[in-house]
């Protein structure tokens, strides 16, 4: 089942409480993944073990299909490339 950007957005906002932007990657080496980042750009990824665990618990994995870690983010800010594992 393919998730749309809207359903991913709703799911992430529901379990995290953070307003996010979601973009589906259509081309390149990250094809088939979603980029998720917070709209306000004020949520830190590094050191936010609760947020990382929420993503892992809800079936999201890193672009290489491994569990998300603090190193999955982009320079510590909440900007990640993920896909949904079924």
Residue ranges covered by each domain of the chain: 5-84
| Separation of alpha carbons 7 and 67, rounded Å | 21
Q: Are 13 and 20 in contact (CB under 8 A)?
A: yes
Q: Are 15 and 58 in contact (CB under 8 A)?
A: yes
pLDDT, tens digit (0-9, with 9 covering 90-100), for 2-35: 678 999 999 999 999 999 999 999 999 999 999 9
> At a CB cut-off of 8 Å and minimum separation 6, what does 66 contact?
none
pLDDT at 66: 94
Residue 47, CA atoms < 13 Å, CB-side half-sphere: 5
Please give the average per-residue pLDDT across 36-46, as a whole number. Answer: 88
Take residue 16 and report the two structure tokens written for it.
């995290």
């Amino acid at each position: 089942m393919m998730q749309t950007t809207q359903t991913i957005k709703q799911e992430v906002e529901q379990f995290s409480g953070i307003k996010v932007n979601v973009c589906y990657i259509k081309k390149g080496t990250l094809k088939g993944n979603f980029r998720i980042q917070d709209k306000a750009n004020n949520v830190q990824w590094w050191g936010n073990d609760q947020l990382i665990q929420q993503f892992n618990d809800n079936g999201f994995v890193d672009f290489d299909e491994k569990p998300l870690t603090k190193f999955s983010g982009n320079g510590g800010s909440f900007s990640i490339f993920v896909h949904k594992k079924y």
